[in-house]
Amino acid sequence: MNVIKLEHPHQVVEKLIANIEKVLIGKKQVIELSIVALLARGHVLLEDVPGVGKTMLVRALAKSIGGDFKRIQFTPDLLPTDVTGVSIFNQKTMEFEFRQGPVFANVVLSDEINRTSPKTQSSLLEAMEERTVTVDGTTYKLAEPFFVMATQNPLEYEGTFPLPEAQLDRFLLQLNLGYPTEQEEVAILSRFANQQPIESVEAVVQSEEVIALQREVMNVKVSEPVKEYIVRLCQKTRNHHAVYLGVSPRGALALFKAAQALAFVRGRDYVIPDDVKELVPYTFTHRLILKPEARLDGETVQRLIQGVMQETRVPVV
């Protein structure tokens, strides 16, 4: 693939955000953070109740970047080979042929990922981390860009399986859409009255441009004090008396890369502490496990994260 150079990368990002906003009303921050994950070469876990627009966001993003889009509807009877693909014996050639699964796409929607068994959930682990799929001893490389957006309903809903910690750690960000405001919901009714806006969404960015943006993000400068700030935040979660499992080094790297991407989306070529502070809740929430006694005392992950941020010295850059 040819390496292209973008003259006005920030304008490309703004165009992408505006295109998705045609479909998703009043959710600019979630759209922006989804693009942050895409440009940081990470993945997103969308957790919310049904019907708030999770699938619509993923479809709009996929159509906006003009890449291949595949949807995997996770169900209790789904098998790992239904995700990765399977080798089938061809009687004409007398050889096994590999049939690619839906994970071979630029944007993969893993819909209701917590409705399938842990065995099938784990079939995405290699694809999300190494961007490869290994079947019958043969490793296949996935296309670039490769971006997974998984949706899940809250665990209090019946028929769900908790995602294993190894799976959760591979998501760069966990986002929640939430319900729209009264005015936003009225606007939704008006916009969807006579048409389905998602059908009119067209690609405003090509896959090659997304790859070029990802390379630009890697060049965003992060000062030593900001790096130390990221590490201090992660260390505090590991040493906290109420935490059973703290943020891993992969989590620290996720916060680092996400901060680079957020600075880039905001039009800067350097990261400031505010970028890190804004992203901490989205990168830490799904990585922390509280001790049982802390949960019994009424402690929550969100409250703990706020406390860690207040106790950690912010660098002056």
Averaged pLDDT, 197-202 = 82
**Is the domain of 140 the same as that of 187?**
yes
Query: If phi over 0 gives left and psi between -120 and 50 gives alpha, with beta otherwise, what is residue 66?
Result: left
Where residue 127 sits, what CATH number does that domain have? 3.40.50.300
* Lowest pLDDT segment from 78-92, 101-115, 146-160, 284-298: 146-160
pLDDT for res 3: 54
Range of the domain at 225: 220-311
Domain membership flag for residue 316: no
Structure-token match 């969308």, residue found = 46
Domain boundary among 163, 190, 214: 214
Give Cα separations from 263 to 83, 233, 300 (angstroms).
Answer: 34, 19, 29
**Is the domain of 234 the same as that of 122?**
no
The burial of 232, by beta-carbon neighbours within 10 Å (0-12 exposed, 13-18 middle, 19 or more buried), is given as middle
**Is the domain of 160 the same as that of 183?**
yes
Mean residue pLDDT across the chain? 89
**Is the domain of 226 the same as that of 205?**
no
pLDDT for res 23: 87
**Is the domain of 84 the same as that of 198?**
yes
Instruction: Tell me which residue of 236, 214, 280, 238 sits closest to 12, measured CA to CA.
Output: 214
Domain membership flag for residue 183: yes
pLDDT for res 2: 52
Domain membership flag for residue 263: yes
pLDDT for res 135: 85
**Is the domain of 61 the same as that of 183?**
yes
Domain membership flag for residue 142: yes
**Is the domain of 85 the same as that of 156?**
yes
The total number of structural domains that make up the chain: 2
AA letter at 115: R
**Is the domain of 54 the same as that of 19?**
yes
Instruction: Tell me which residue of 70, 104, 109, 67 sits closest to 206, measured CA to CA.
Output: 67
Domain boundary among 214, 242, 260: 214
pLDDT digits (tens, 9 = 90+) for 151-162: 887 765 666 777
Residue 136 DSSP SS3: coil
**CB 287 within 8 Å of CB 305:** no
**Is the domain of 147 the same as that of 81?**
yes
Q: What DSSP character marks residue 118?
A: H
pLDDT for res 157: 61
Where residue 240 sits, what CATH number does that domain have? 1.10.8.80
Domain membership flag for residue 290: yes
**CB 214 within 8 Å of CB 145:** yes
Domain membership flag for residue 1: no
Domain membership flag for residue 4: no
Q: How confident is the model at residue 125 (pLDDT cuts 50, 70, 90)?
A: confident
Q: How confident is the model at residue 49 (pLDDT cuts 50, 70, 90)?
A: confident
Q: What DSSP character marks residue 124?
A: G
CB neighbour burial string for 163-184, b if at least 16 within 10 angstroms, e if fewer = beeebbbbbbbbbebeebeeee
Q: How many CB atoms lie within 10 A of CB 93?
A: 8
Higher per-residue confidence, 52 vs 315: 315
Sequence-separated (6 or more) residues with CB below 8 Å from residue 224 = none
Distance in angstroms (rounded) separating the CA atoms of residues 307 and 285: 13
pLDDT digits (tens, 9 = 90+) for 218-230: 999 999 999 999 9
Q: What is the pairing mode between strands 95-100 and 138-141?
A: unpaired
Domain membership flag for residue 2: no
pTM check: above 0.85: yes
pLDDT for res 160: 74
Domain boundary among 183, 214, 245: 214
**Is the domain of 208 the same as that of 274?**
no
**Is the domain of 161 the same as that of 268?**
no
Q: How many CB atoms lie within 10 A of CB 42?
A: 21
**Is the domain of 189 the same as that of 229?**
no
Q: How confident is the model at residue 22 (pLDDT cuts 50, 70, 90)?
A: confident
